[in-house]
């Protein structure tokens, strides 16, 4: 994103705002989530359902792929997404805790256009979503004492997916007391 901002600050900012307003924010709302905060070139979102969080992540990445299809490679804005399941401390305009930190570390490991999830997320979605996450193994990440078992879906795998049923088509009610974090940041392709 820094390279894009350096080349065309106003244009890049306008394109990022358009992606957020036309794709990201509506998808998060559609999947019963909320953006907790924007981080300049990224955002932190919270969901009541981990299934909704992962489905939303996939739909955002697919949508970004479609939106970028007509954009020259040197002007594309792409997102990296990390999803984790865990308890968080909720304040008025932010959430904190190990669950958020793991999500942020997974996002940092993802390739542009890709999605990384933790083992606990994979365990929760395994029989509910048909997504081909590859077991990446144990990952040692900054400021997390224990290794994190991670699963990844590449940009190419995201692009090849058929749409999953929307939350309205889901027959099971959502009941959960945990919070599910989805951390994303934008980056040049």
Residue that is written with structure tokens 């299809």 in the block: 69
3-class state of residue 162 by DSSP: coil
Residue 173 in domain:
no
Q: Is the pLDDT of residue 167 over 80?
A: no
Residue 64 in domain:
yes
Please give the angle made by the CA atoms of 110, 115 and 119, to the nearest 5 degrees: 95
Q: What is the dihedral of CA 123, 87, 48, 165, to 10 degrees?
A: -20
Average pLDDT estimate for 141-155: 93
Q: DSSP assignment, residue 42?
A: E
Task: Provide the pLDDT for residue 74.
Answer: 84
Residue 174 in domain:
no
Residue 92: give the domain boundaries. Answer: 2-164+180-188
Q: Is the pLDDT of residue 5 over 90?
A: no
Residue 143: exposure state from Cβ atoms within 10 A (0-12, 13-18, ≥19): exposed
Q: Who has greater pLDDT, 141 or 31? A: 31
pLDDT-based confidence at residue 184 (cuts at 50, 70, 90): low
Count of domains observed in the chain: 1
Residue 125 in domain:
yes
Residue 22 in domain:
yes
Q: Is the pLDDT of residue 169 over 50?
A: no
Average pLDDT estimate for 150-164: 87
Residue 127 in domain:
yes
Q: From 20, 27, 71, select the one nearest 53 (Cα to Cα).
A: 27
Q: How far apart are CA 26 and CA 130, in angstroms?
A: 23
pLDDT, tens digit (0-9, with 9 covering 90-100), for 93-136: 899 999 999 999 999 999 999 999 999 999 999 999 999 999 99
Residue 152 in domain:
yes
Find the CATH number of the domain harbouring 109. Answer: 3.30.70.1230
Residue 89 in domain:
yes
Percent of the chain clearing pLDDT 90 (strictly above): 61
Q: Is the pLDDT of residue 85 over 60?
A: yes
Mean pLDDT score across all residues of the chain? 84
3-class state of residue 100 by DSSP: helix
Task: Provide the pLDDT for residue 1.
Answer: 52
Task: Provide the pLDDT for residue 75.
Answer: 84
Task: Provide the pLDDT for residue 63.
Answer: 95
């Amino acid at each position: 994103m820094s390279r894009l901002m350096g080349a065309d600050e106003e244009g890049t900012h306008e394109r990022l705002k358009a992606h957020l307003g036309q794709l990201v924010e509506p998808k998060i709302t559609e999947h019963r989530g909320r953006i907790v905060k924007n981080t300049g070139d990224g955002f932190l979102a919270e969901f009541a359902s981990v299934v909704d969080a992962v489905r939303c992540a996939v739909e955002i990445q697919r949508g970004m792929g479609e939106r970028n299809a007509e954009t020259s490679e040197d002007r594309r804005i792409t997102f990296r997404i990390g999803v984790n399941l865990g308890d968080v401390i909720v304040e008025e305009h932010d959430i904190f805790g190990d669950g958020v930190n793991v999500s942020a570390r997974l996002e940092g490991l993802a390739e542009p256009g890709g999605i990384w999830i933790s083992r606990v997320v994979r365990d929760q979605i395994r029989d509910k979503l048909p997504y081909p996450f590859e077991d990446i193994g144990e990952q040692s990440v900054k400021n997390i004492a224990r290794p994190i078992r991670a699963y990844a879906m590449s940009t190419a795998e995201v692009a090849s997916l058929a749409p999953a049923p929307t939350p309205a088509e889901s027959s099971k009610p959502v009941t959960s007391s945990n919070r599910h974090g989805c951390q994303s940041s934008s980056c040049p392709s």
